[in-house]
Structure formats: C-alpha cells, structure tokens
C-alpha cells in the first residue's frame, strides 16, 4: 500500500545541508494500522508530509498503492491526494467560512462529483462520525472533539485508500481524545489503512504495529520506546 | 527604536509594500498635476477684465429686413436705427449709461487686427482686438483712463460693417502701448492698422481692458485692446447698458420691451439676446471651471482611495503580526512604541513612494507641456503634494496602528 | 465547478465585509471616473461619417504667401472666393462643394408670429451626395439649380416641424431675409457632431444646427453675407460683401470626395497646377504651397477634440490605474490572511488551477459588483457633466446600453487583471504549510 525504500529528504540552505530523513524504509500493508512514533524533530512529520504527497523527497523511492510517485507533477499529485489519501490534522484544519456540510464536501468538489453523489457520501460519512445532526453548524460552534470528527468525516468522504493522521488527539482533552481514538479503531476494523504519527506512547499502543523514528531513520524496536522518547526528546530539532 | 527591524519586516511583505508604495507614487504624481491644473484655471478665471463688472448687461439684437450696410444709404439708415435704440434705452429710469459697442470682454466675439508703427507694413504687427463704438464706450465699461483723454462726440463716426473708414483717433491699452512703444509714452503717437497707409493717433491710454476672446490662441494679446470711435452699422447691433445700482433686473426687462416699442421688426434671442455680464463671464469660463471641478473630484477620490488602501493593508499587517506584537509587549514595549513602529513603517513606505512619485509628477508635467501646451509646474506644487501625501499616510496609518498598540502582552502566550 | 467558486467567493467576500466594500468602492469610482470622461472623449473624437471619412478631403491653397501670419508655413484654413469658384468650375472631384456659413432670419407666414433666426450654410448641389445627407422628403437641388441661381432651399426636419408641422413641405415656400425660397427637400434628423464639413466656422462642436441649406450662387446673388470667420492678409480693395468676393480674404470652406488613391494624387497635381497658373498669372508671387488633408487628418489638424477632454481622460485613466493597484494590494493582503485555508485545500487535493480559478473568480466578482456600482456612478457622472460642461460638448456624452456594458466589462477585466498576481501567489501556497503544527 505504502512502500518507501531508502528514502531521503535533505533540506538545503546556503550554509547547511540537513538530513530530515535518511535511508528511510517502511512498508505498510493494505488494512494495517501503523503508528509512527518518535521524539520532536525525529523526522516523523517530514515522513508524513512526504507520504501525503505534500512534499517531494530527495532520494530513494516511494510507491503508493503500487504507483511510483517520484516523478509525478503537481496536478497528478493533487489528484492522488484527492482520491487516495485522507488527512486528519492535529489542528483539525476545518475551513472556518464553511459549515460542517460544506467542509466535508470540499474534497468531493475537487473530484468533480455530481451533487446527488456528493450529498449521499457527505451524509454517510457524517453519520459515521455521529454528527449528522450538525450539518449547518460552523466550526467555531463545535467542540474540539466534534471538529476533529468533522475532519475525519471529511477524510472519509472521498473513500480514500489511505488515512494519514497527524497527532489526531494532540489538541483534545483526554475524554474527547478517547472518543476520536475509538472512532479511528472502528474505521480500521472496517478495513481502512491508517498511518498515524504521534509522540504519545499510549496512543501508539492502540495501533497494530509501531514504527519508531529517530534522527530520520526507522528504528523498528518496540522495546526501546520508553528509552528513546525520554533520551532523544532533549535533542534539538533537525 | 532603530530602523533595521522595520526594513527587515518590509522585506518580508515585498509585494504589498511595492503596491502601496506605487499607489502613493501615482497618487502624488496625479494630484500634483491636477492641483496645478486647478491653480492655473483659477488664476485664469480670476484675472481682471479691467472693467466695472457690476450692474452691466449686453443687448444683442438683429433687425429683420434690414437694408444692406454695404451702401451708404443702407449704412445711414442702420445707424439711425441704432441711435434710436440707444436713445430709447438711455431714457429708461433704471438705466444709468448706454453705449453702442461691437463686443465686450469675455464675449468671445472679436474683431482682431494687427497694429504697426509704420505705414503699409508687411510684417512686425502687434496683434490687437478692436472695440468699435460711440463716445460712451469707456465710461459705460468702467475702464480706467490713465493718460490722454476719452473720445468726445466729435470723434465718433459711423460706417458700414464691411466698409473701411479712416480711424483718425484711437485709444489703446497700456499693455498694447508698451508693445508698440517700449521706450516711451505712446500718447500722441501715430500707428497704422492692418497694413494700411492711413494714420491713427493715440489720444488716450487705458489701464487695463481685456479682449473678448478667452481662447488659448488669443492669450498672447489678452489685454491688447484698441478702442475705435466708429459705430459699425450692420443688420445686428449691440448695446452695453449699465443699470442703476440694484435695478439690474428691472433694466433688463425694460430694455426688451423698450426696443420692441421702437421697432418690432427685430429678433432678440430669448437666451442670448439680453445677458448680464455675470452670465457672459460664467459662459466664457465654463470650461475652466468644469475642468477645475473635475480635477478636484479626481484629487479627492484619489486621496480617499489611497488613505483607505493604507488603512486596509496596515490592518492586515497588524492582524498578521498580532502575536509578534504581543511578544514585543511581553518583552517590555510600551503601547506608544508599537504605535511609533507602524507610523515609522508607513513613513518609510510613503517616503519611497514619494521619491518615485516626484519623478513621475515631473515626467507627467513634462509630457503635458509637450503635448497639450501646458505650463511647467512650479516646484511649490511638488512640495505641497509631498507634504499632503505624507500627512495623509500618517493619519491613515493611525487607525490600525492604535489598534496594534492596544494588543495585550498576554497574546504572546496564546497559541496560534 | 464554476458555481462552486462563485459560492466560495461570495462567502469570502461576505466574511471580510469592510474590505470588500472598500474594493468595490475603489473599482466603482475608478471605472466611473474613467468611463464618464471616456464617454465625452469618445463622443468628441468619434468619426462623424465613418463609412466615407477617408474619401473626403479638404483642399488648402496658399493665398496669403510665405510668412504672412502663419509661422509654420501652413496655408490658410479656408479658400478665397475666386479660388473656391475656380475649383468648383473645374469640377475635378467625384463630388465637391464650396460653402459658407449663414445666419438668416425667417419670417413665418402666420400673422402675428415673430421673425426668428436660423443658422445654415450656402452650399453646392454636390454637398448632398458627397455627405450622404438623408432626406425625409424630397431631395437635393440639381446642378442646374446651382447654375440658374434658383431660389430653392433644403430645410432641416426641425425647421420643417416648426414651420409646416412636420408634413411634406416640398414645393412650399419660405421667406428668408425677405425673399421667397421653394423647399425642395427636408433632411431627416441630420445634425452631425462635430459639424465636420465646416469646422473653421463652427469650431466643430457647436450647439448650432443647420436649419437651411441654400445654393451658394443664389445666396451670393441675394447678398446673404457670411457669418463665419473671415481672415484677411491684406485689406479688401473694395468695400462691402462684393468687395469681399474680390479680395484675397479667405472665408469659403471647401470639401471634395475622392474615391481612390489615384484620384487623390491626380487632385493634388491638379491643385499644384492651379496654384502655378495663378502664380504665372501674377495673382500669387510665390510657388504652390497646397495641402490636401483627408477628413480625419483635417479634424486632427484643426484640434477639433478639445485638449481639456484629452487631459481629463488621461487623469481619469491615472485614477483608474491607482484603483487597480489599490485593489491588487487589498486582494494580496486578503490572500495572506487566507493562506491557511489554501494550504488545507491543497492538501485535500485541490490542484493549483482550482485555487487559481477560485481567486480569479473572487476578483471577477469584486469587479462585477464594482462595475455595477460604476454603472450607476457613470450615469450620475454623465448627468453631472451636463451641468458642468459647456452644452456643445456635454450633449455628446449620451448614456446608452453600450456604455453601461463597457463599464461593467472594463471593471471586471481590470479587476481580474489586478487579481492575477495575488491569485498566482495563492496558487503557489504550499499544501504542507499547515501541517507543521508541532
């Protein structure tokens, strides 16, 4: 489903070359729920932006759903993001001008879907997250947990092959976070592939498999988890 | 506070800074030139005619079935009719003075010619406008004689409209006298008109008397008038009437009826037949006044627009930097420091705009000078324009800057 | 998709209401100021006879001689009577007419009605086919009428309404300056502005309307004098109107129709030959110095469009540019505030062109609204012009559907233009931007 091999990402400025990812390899199978953990500055967010085709990479290869995405142009990348990937952001990133219904509609609009089909999907996905009664509400009128549910509904509406979540509970209190997490688990049980980035070890245990990232490299040792977070959290960001 | 952080901040908003700077530059360039045009028009409208303009009106009438003025008999008949008309007007109780006259200042109906100090001259003429009329011309106009004498009844003759009569005596304006005789008094000197060989003696000099034409082409001799004591007999005639103070309206109404009483076979146009000098003046300068109004409107719209643009853009910058401002406040900046920061920032942008604007203003003026025969703009206009634009910028920026200065320091601790 | 962008734009504009109003006002005022002055300019500089202006020519013959009044060695703007009559006699153009301006009194039949003045021109029969004068009733007079100095007249529909109640008055007679003239034709609302066939005497733009057209030879016979400009380089040798006809004064306007370039060059040669023959005859003691300007060149040479009109148009255009810069700046500022939203949209899969389209359409909507406001303001502006401007110019600036459509179109096109750079910037917002939430 998502396969990166020896992938690297270098940020170059006039004076320094910084490796955000180095010889990064990961293989996520269809239907898996993978948690990517690591301390601040470890490169896990860079991994997510590259996985979501929001950024390009410097070396290695990346196949998404069997397609080599390294040479695609901006338009093709937009199309893949729109059709195959669903995003769930820590800050929800709902568009404040649009109400719940219209927010969920955004990806469907860019897919050029007919109105009836859009409506069906929006209703389905909002029902899925339990917010079908709040269609006309604006993001500012919802609680954080509700906002994140809308964001999840938006990610689900396009029936993506892959869900990418970036600290989905980072801005939520414990109770709300639990609700959102349970929702993600449900979605996974129904067959979705989910890749979640988090630095919360507790959250990571909910996933099927954990991938640990330190200094831009995969350290696939689950037992090191406690050690690495406490040690490397002190490192300054790359 | 140093300038360095301002420049650094501006560099991050290059496009916005360039746009607002450009707007200020264009505004300065246009406003300077527009105000210059207004100034020129006002000074044109304000220039004195040299006559006493109050209580004055002009009657223009046309005889129906009039004899031809080309024959002696026809001209004599027309002259008698004119004299009857003038006498009838003079008898009106509301009328103080009446003169038979060919035209008057600002009427834009002129009889122009060339005057020379030599007989049968082929070149070297001084352009002038002739006023033909009787001995009451100067006194009815209210122009001021500075040397010599006014015409008397004995000087006055009459001639057909297209017939050239000798002009033994004339009165000229001071301005024309100086052009003809730069080195001495013109009084008593002999001049020749339109290349003719018959001499005319200057018997009087008028301080100032504007010509009828307000067009650009006649501006070089706008005050070079010549008065000739000859009634020009034609199928039409003009009477200049000075009403007694406060009786202008009555006199204008009475004049109409009195003339039709003398002779009903005539045409007096409803609009243009009997006109007060005020309306003649308004008509002559209508174009100038309208141009000044138009330029004024453009200036107001432009300045308002630029002020609004500055308010709009600065508001956005303030909004964008709210957190940054909070941090500064947390680090000890006072409200006044923040206010100053934005005011200084605006001064900086406006300053750059002004430099470009000055060059543009001069360039536009240069271009207008070349293509539209405009005058060169004095530097004073630029100076005032710069001042206005800078002050406007400071006033406009004050609104959002004050809001910025009220951002509480606690903002720094809030997340985005 | 278009409807979606329109919907988004509408939401966005409503959200920052103050800014939207500011932009709409800027565009509205800017476009209105430009369109109002443009309406006057267009009317003043329009081609009065577009279908054949290139075929109409104004001949000038130097009857004054070098250095006589004209600094730039240009010949006088009108012809002397003898020159004009010689050109008429030789009849070298397809159509031609000498003409001079009249101001005459008309005495109505009706008892008790006062005489009144009308304006007009003395012209030749060729005047009517040359200028394609439309007739409501009757037709032009014939060349024979010119030769026989017939007392005939063509009157305007305006005068026809006044004298004959608008009916077919052909064959009836009117009293002009005490003499009866038979009506042969009534023109059909023909009142060209500028009065291009005689700009010297009318200044081009005038409130005057030609109510009577009389054969020039008949007018000369009846001693109807000219009302226009007379320019003399030397005093007339004889007095009176007859003296004027024999003098070297110029007072006759002239126009000729020449249909091909061959005819134009032949006519030029003819003018030179004529001037040379006059030189040989001793009338002129200088070599030929003629001009043959086409109507558009002639109107330009005579500065028929007032320079104030041009300067105002330029100033209004400048104002419009400032409005655009202002709008571009505000759109840019707005975009900066919305870069978060754009980042999310891009992440969700909006391609660049979708963002681009969204912002361009938003700009277009500002332009559309500004254009509608501008339309109202243009209408007010044109009405204000009528109050403020001299009537001969202001009357030209007419309100019509075309002007309104143009106002909206210009506003939209200009605003979209102003929005191109901000939209370009918006489309280049990186989708990853908002993900950096740690």
* Rg of chain B over all Cα atoms, to the nearest angstrom: 32
**DSSP of B229-245:** -EEEE-SEEEEEEEEPT
| Residue range B288-311: mean pLDDT, rounded | 88
The most confident of the ranges B2-6, C224-228, C351-355 is C351-355
- pLDDT band, very low/low/confident/very high, at C212 (cuts 50, 70, 90): very high
Task: Find all residues with CB under 8 Å of B147, minimum gap 6, and list them.
Answer: B185, B187, B204, B205
- Find which of C339, C342, C349 to mutate to test the A interface (most A CBs within 10 Å of its CB): C349
In DSSP terms, A213 is beta-bridged to A218
Check whether C93 has a pLDDT greater than 80: yes
Helix or strand (DSSP H, E) at B140: helix B137-141
Contact B221, B126 (CB under 8 A): yes
| Residue range C79-105: mean pLDDT, rounded | 94
- In this structure, the number of other CB atoms found within 10 A of the CB of residue C12 comes to 19
Sort strands C210-215 and C152-155 into parallel, antiparallel or unpaired: antiparallel
- In this structure, the number of other CB atoms found within 10 A of the CB of residue B148 comes to 18
What are C184-198's pLDDT values in tens digits? 999 998 888 788 899
Contacts of A87 in chain C (CB under 8 A): 347-348
State both tokens at B130.
Answer: 């002739």
Query: How many Å apart are CA A19 and CA C33, to the nearest integer?
Result: 58
C1 has a chain A CB within 8 A of its CB: yes
**DSSP structural state of residue C114:** P
Contact B227, B67 (CB under 8 A): no
pLDDT at B415: 47
Task: Find all residues with CB under 8 Å of A96, minimum gap 6, and list them.
Answer: A138, A139, A140, C341
Task: Find all residues with CB under 8 Å of A155, minimum gap 6, and list them.
Answer: A86, A87, A88, A163
State both tokens at B314.
Answer: 């600065």
Q: C32: distance to nearest CA of chain A, Å?
A: 32
Contact C352, C58 (CB under 8 A): no
Look at the block and give the residue holding tokens 């300053």.
B351
Q: B226: distance to nearest CA of chain C, Å?
A: 18
- Find which of A84, A107, A109, A199 to mutate to test the C interface (most C CBs within 10 Å of its CB): A109
What are C334-361's pLDDT values in tens digits? 887 788 888 888 888 888 889 999 999 9
Q: A224: distance to nearest CA of chain C, Å?
A: 23
Contact C209, C158 (CB under 8 A): yes
Q: Which of A175, A166, A42, A186 is nearest to A125 (CA)?
A: A186
Which among A40, A96, A110 has the least Cβ separation from residue C349?
Answer: A110
Please state the domain extents for chain C: 2-47+306-437, 62-289
Interface of C with B in 87-146 (CB under 8 A): 105, 107, 114-117
- pLDDT band, very low/low/confident/very high, at C432 (cuts 50, 70, 90): low
Helix axes A74-84, C352-388, angle to 10 degrees: 110
Check whether B64 has a pLDDT greater than 90: no
Q: Which of A166, A78, A83 is nearest to A121 (CA)?
A: A83
Which among A80, A83, A95 has the least Cβ separation from residue C344?
Answer: A95
- pLDDT band, very low/low/confident/very high, at B413 (cuts 50, 70, 90): low
pLDDT at B383: 93
Least confident range of B165-179, C198-212, C367-381? C198-212
Interface of B with C in 220-259 (CB under 8 A): none
* Better-predicted residue by pLDDT, C433 or C179: C179
Where helices occur in C91-231 by DSSP H, the ranges are 127-130, 143-147, 157-164, 199-202, 216-221
Contact A38, A199 (CB under 8 A): yes
pLDDT at A223: 41
Look at the block and give the residue holding tokens 């200065």.
B405
Query: How many Å apart are CA C263 and CA C257, to the nearest integer?
Result: 9
- pLDDT band, very low/low/confident/very high, at B414 (cuts 50, 70, 90): low
State both tokens at C91.
Answer: 């009849």
Backbone phi, psi, residue B16, to 5°: -60, -45
What are B133-159's pLDDT values in tens digits? 999 999 999 999 999 999 999 999 999
Look at the block and give the residue holding tokens 């060169």.
B376
| Distances, alpha carbon C287 to alpha carbons C86, C210, C273, C278, in Å | 18, 37, 10, 9
What are A68-108's pLDDT values in tens digits? 998 888 888 888 888 899 888 888 888 877 889 988 988 88
| Residue range B351-373: mean pLDDT, rounded | 91
Task: Find all residues with CB under 8 Å of A116, minimum gap 6, and list them.
Answer: none
Q: Which of C41, C39, C47 is nearest to C404 (CA)?
A: C39
pLDDT at B290: 83
| Residue range C40-68: mean pLDDT, rounded | 83
Look at the block and give the residue holding tokens 């009828």.
B212
| Residue range C61-73: mean pLDDT, rounded | 72
Q: C186: distance to nearest CA of chain B, Å?
A: 25
Q: B329: distance to nearest CA of chain C, Å?
A: 22
- pLDDT band, very low/low/confident/very high, at B202 (cuts 50, 70, 90): very high
3-state secondary structure of B115: strand
pLDDT at C339: 80
Look at the block and give the residue holding tokens 């009302």.
C227
pLDDT at C291: 93
Query: How many Å apart are CA A178 and CA A172, to the nearest integer?
Result: 9
Which among B29, B164, B294 has the least Cβ separation from residue C235?
Answer: B164
Are B15 and C332 a contacting pair at CB < 8 A?
yes
Q: Which of A238, A195, A193, A192 is nearest to A214 (CA)?
A: A238
Query: How many Å apart are CA C332 and CA C353, to the nearest integer?
Result: 18
Are B319 and C337 a contacting pair at CB < 8 A?
yes
Are B195 and C425 a contacting pair at CB < 8 A?
no
What are A166-202's pLDDT values in tens digits? 888 888 888 888 888 998 898 898 888 999 998 888 8
Query: How many Å apart are CA C293 and CA C299, to the nearest integer?
Result: 9
* Better-predicted residue by pLDDT, A238 or B67: B67
State both tokens at C5.
Answer: 């962008």
- pLDDT band, very low/low/confident/very high, at B218 (cuts 50, 70, 90): confident
pLDDT at C121: 95
pLDDT at C201: 81
What are B225-278's pLDDT values in tens digits? 999 999 999 888 999 999 999 999 999 999 999 999 998 888 888 778 899 999
In DSSP terms, B126 is beta-bridged to B115
**DSSP structural state of residue C172:** -
3-state secondary structure of B109: coil
Q: A58: distance to nearest CA of chain C, Å?
A: 16
Contact B169, B188 (CB under 8 A): no
pLDDT at C391: 66
**Dihedral angle of Cα B178, B182, B185, B187, to the nearest 10 degrees:** -50
Sort strands A162-166 and A193-198 into parallel, antiparallel or unpaired: parallel
Query: How many Å apart are CA B92 and CA B73, to the nearest integer?
Result: 30
Contact A118, A109 (CB under 8 A): yes
Contacts of A107 in chain C (CB under 8 A): 348-349
Work out the mean pLDDT of chain B and round it to a whole number: 89
pLDDT at B322: 81
What are B28-55's pLDDT values in tens digits? 999 999 999 999 999 999 999 999 999 9
Report cis status (omega within 30 of 0) of the bond before C199. Answer: no
What are A135-176's pLDDT values in tens digits? 999 888 998 889 989 999 999 898 888 999 988 888 888 888
Task: Find all residues with CB under 8 Å of C118, minimum gap 6, and list them.
Answer: C103, C104, C105, C106, C159, C211, C212
**DSSP structural state of residue A29:** P
Check whether C434 has a pLDDT greater than 60: no
Query: How many Å apart are CA A64 and CA A52, to the nearest integer?
Result: 10
Check whether A220 has a pLDDT greater than 70: no
Question: Nearest residue on chain C to A87, judged by CA atoms?
Answer: C348
State both tokens at C82.
Answer: 């003898």
What are C394-418's pLDDT values in tens digits? 666 667 788 888 899 999 999 999 8
Check whether B405 has a pLDDT greater than 90: no
3-state secondary structure of C339: helix
Query: How many Å apart are CA A233 and CA A42, to the nearest integer?
Result: 9
Are A82 and C11 a contacting pair at CB < 8 A?
no
pLDDT at C228: 75
Check whether C94 has a pLDDT greater than 90: yes
Contact B82, B236 (CB under 8 A): no
* ipTM exceeds 0.85, yes or no: no
Sort strands B225-228 and B126-132 into parallel, antiparallel or unpaired: parallel
| Residue range B167-180: mean pLDDT, rounded | 95
Contact B309, C30 (CB under 8 A): no
B91 phi-psi bin (left φ>0, alpha ψ -120 to 50, beta other): alpha
What are A50-74's pLDDT values in tens digits? 898 888 899 999 999 889 998 888 8
Contact B301, C33 (CB under 8 A): yes
pLDDT above 70 covers a percentage of chain B that reads: 97
pLDDT above 90 covers a percentage of chain C that reads: 41
Look at the block and give the residue holding tokens 């831009």.
A216
Check whether C69 has a pLDDT greater than 60: no
Which among B70, B316, B319 has the least Cβ separation from residue C239?
Answer: B70
Check whether A236 has a pLDDT greater than 70: no
Query: How many Å apart are CA C104 and CA B66, to the nearest integer?
Result: 11
Contacts of A154 in chain C (CB under 8 A): 348
pLDDT at C131: 95
A123 has a chain C CB within 8 A of its CB: no
| Residue range B308-329: mean pLDDT, rounded | 82
Contacts of B320 in chain C (CB under 8 A): 336-337
Least confident range of B375-384, C358-367, C388-397, C418-427? C388-397
In DSSP terms, B95 is beta-bridged to B243
pLDDT at A237: 41
Query: How many Å apart are CA B197 and CA B203, to the nearest integer?
Result: 19
Least confident range of B19-23, C46-50, C112-116, C265-269? C112-116
Buried b (16+ CB within 10 A) or exposed e, C150-169: bbbbbbbbbbbebbbeeeeb
- pLDDT band, very low/low/confident/very high, at B96 (cuts 50, 70, 90): very high
pLDDT at B262: 93
Work out the mean pLDDT of chain A and round it to a whole number: 84
In DSSP terms, C175 is beta-bridged to C107, C180
Backbone phi, psi, residue C102, to 5°: -120, 150
Check whether A225 has a pLDDT greater than 50: no
C409 has a chain A CB within 8 A of its CB: no
What are C132-166's pLDDT values in tens digits? 999 999 999 999 999 999 999 999 999 999 899 88
């Amino acid at each position: 489903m998502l396969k990166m091999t020896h992938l690297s990402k270098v940020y170059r400025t006039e004076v320094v070359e910084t490796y955000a990812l180095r010889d990064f390899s990961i293989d996520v199978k269809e239907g898996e729920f993978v948690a990517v953990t690591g301390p601040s500055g470890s490169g896990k967010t860079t991994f997510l932006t590259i996985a979501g085709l929001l950024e390009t990479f410097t070396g290695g290869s990346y196949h998404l759903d069997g397609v080599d995405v390294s040479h695609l142009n901006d338009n093709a990348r937009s199309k893949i993001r729109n059709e195959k990937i669903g995003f769930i952001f820590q800050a929800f990133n709902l568009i404040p001008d649009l109400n719940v219904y219209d927010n969920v509609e955004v990806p469907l609009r860019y897919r050029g879907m007919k109105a009836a089909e859009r409506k069906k999907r929006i209703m389905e996905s909002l029902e899925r997250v339990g917010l079908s009664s709040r269609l006309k509400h604006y993001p500012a009128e919802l609680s954080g947990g509700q906002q994140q549910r809308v964001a999840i509904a938006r990610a689900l509406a396009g029936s993506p092959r892959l869900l990418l979540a970036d600290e989905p509970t980072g801005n939520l209190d414990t109770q709300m976070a639990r609700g959102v997490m349970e929702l993600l688990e449900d979605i996974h049980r129904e067959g979705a592939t989910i890749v979640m980035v988090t630095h919360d070890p507790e959250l990571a245990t909910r996933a099927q498999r954990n991938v640990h990232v330190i200094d831009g490299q995969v350290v696939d040792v689950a037992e090191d988890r406690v050690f690495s977070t406490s040690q490397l959290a002190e490192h300054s960001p790359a | 506070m140093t300038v360095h952080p301002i420049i650094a901040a501006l560099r991050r908003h290059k496009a916005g800074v360039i746009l607002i700077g450009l707007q200020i530059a264009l505004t300065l360039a246009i406003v300077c030139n527009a105000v210059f045009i207004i100034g020129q028009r006002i000074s044109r409208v304000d220039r004195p005619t040299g006559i006493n303009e109050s209580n004055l009106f002009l009657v223009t009438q046309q005889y129906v079935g009039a004899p031809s003025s080309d024959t002696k008999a026809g001209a004599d008949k027309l002259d008698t009719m004119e004299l009857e008309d003038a006498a009838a007007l003079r008898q009106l109780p509301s009328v103080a003075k009446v003169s038979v006259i060919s035209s008057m200042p600002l009427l834009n109906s002129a009889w122009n010619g060339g005057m020379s100090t030599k007989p049968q001259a082929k070149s070297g003429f001084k352009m002038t406008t002739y006023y033909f009329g009787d001995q009451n011309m100067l006194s009815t106009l209210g122009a001021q004689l500075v040397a010599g004498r006014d015409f008397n009844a004995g000087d006055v003759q009459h001639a057909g409209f297209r017939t050239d009569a000798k002009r033994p005596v004339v009165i000229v304006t001071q301005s024309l006298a100086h052009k003809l005789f730069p080195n001495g008094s013109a009084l008593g000197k002999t001049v020749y008109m339109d290349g003719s060989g018959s001499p005319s003696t200057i018997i009087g000099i008028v301080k100032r008397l504007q010509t009828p034409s307000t067009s650009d082409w006649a501006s070089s001799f706008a005050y070079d008038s010549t008065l000739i004591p000859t009634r020009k007999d034609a199928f039409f005639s003009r009477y200049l009437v000075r009403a007694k103070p406060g009786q202008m309206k009555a006199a204008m109404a009475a004049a109409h009826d009195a003339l039709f009483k003398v002779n009903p076979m005539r045409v007096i146009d409803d609009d243009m037949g009997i006109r007060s000098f005020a309306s003649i003046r308004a008509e002559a300068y209508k174009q100038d006044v309208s141009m000044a109004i138009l330029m004024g409107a453009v200036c107001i719209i432009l300045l308002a627009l630029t002020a609004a643009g500055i308010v709009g853009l600065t508001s956005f910058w303030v909004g964008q930097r709210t957190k940054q401002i909070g941090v500064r406040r947390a680090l000890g900046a006072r409200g006044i420091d923040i206010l100053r920061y934005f005011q200084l920032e605006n001064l900086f942008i406006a300053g750059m705009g002004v430099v470009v604007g000055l060059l543009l203003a001069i360039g536009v003026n240069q271009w207008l000078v070349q293509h539209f025969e405009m005058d060169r703009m004095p530097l004073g206009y630029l100076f005032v324009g710069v001042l206005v634009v800078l002050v406007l910028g400071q006033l406009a920026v004050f609104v959002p800057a004050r809001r910025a200065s009220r951002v509480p320091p606690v903002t720094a601790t809030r997340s985005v | 998709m278009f409807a979606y962008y329109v919907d988004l734009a509408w939401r966005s504009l409503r959200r920052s209401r103050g800014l939207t109003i500011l932009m709409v006002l800027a565009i509205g005022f800017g476009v209105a100021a430009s369109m109002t002055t443009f309406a006057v300019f267009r009317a003043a500089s329009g081609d009065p006879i577009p279908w054949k202006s290139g075929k109409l020519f104004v001949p000038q013959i130097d009857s004054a001689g070098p250095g006589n009044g004209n600094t730039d060695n240009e010949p006088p703007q009108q012809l002397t009577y003898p020159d004009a009559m010689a050109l008429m006699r030789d009849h070298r153009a397809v159509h031609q007419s000498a003409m001079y301006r009249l101001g005459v009194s008309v005495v109505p039949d009706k008892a008790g009605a006062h005489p009144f003045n009308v304006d007009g021109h003395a012209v030749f029969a060729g005047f009517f086919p040359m200028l394609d004068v439309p007739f409501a009733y009757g037709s032009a007079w014939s060349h024979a009428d010119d030769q026989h100095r017939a007392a005939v007249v063509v009157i305007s529909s305006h005068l026809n309404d006044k004298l004959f109640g608008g009916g077919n008055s052909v064959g009836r007679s009117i009293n002009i300056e005490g003499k009866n003239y038979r009506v042969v034709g009534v023109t059909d609302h023909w009142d060209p502005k500028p009065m291009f066939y005689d700009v010297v005497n009318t200044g081009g733009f005038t409130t005057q309307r030609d109510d009577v057209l009389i054969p020039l030879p008949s007018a000369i016979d009846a001693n109807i004098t000219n009302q226009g400009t007379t320019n003399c380089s030397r005093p007339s040798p004889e007095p009176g109107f007859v003296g004027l006809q024999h003098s070297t004064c110029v007072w006759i306007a002239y126009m000729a129709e020449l249909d091909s370039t061959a005819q134009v060059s032949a006519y030029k040669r003819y003018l030179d030959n004529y001037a040379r023959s006059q030189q040989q005859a001793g009338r002129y003691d200088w070599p030929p110095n003629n001009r043959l300007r086409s109507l558009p060149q002639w109107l330009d040479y005579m500065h028929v469009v007032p320079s104030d009109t041009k300067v105002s148009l330029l100033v209004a255009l400048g104002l419009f540019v400032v409005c655009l810069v202002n709008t571009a700046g505000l759109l840019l500022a707005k975009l900066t505030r919305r870069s978060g939203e754009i980042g999310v949209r891009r992440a969700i899969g909006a391609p660049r062109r979708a963002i681009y389209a969204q912002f361009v359409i938003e700009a277009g909507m500002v332009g559309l609204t500004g254009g509608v406001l501008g339309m109202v303001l243009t209408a007010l502006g044109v009405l204000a012009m009528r109050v403020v401007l001299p009537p001969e110019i202001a009357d030209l600036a007419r309100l019509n559907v075309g002007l309104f459509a143009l106002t909206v179109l210009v506003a939209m096109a200009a605003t979209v233009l102003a929005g191109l750079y901000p939209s370009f910037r918006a489309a280049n917002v990186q989708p990853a931007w908002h993900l950096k939430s740690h």
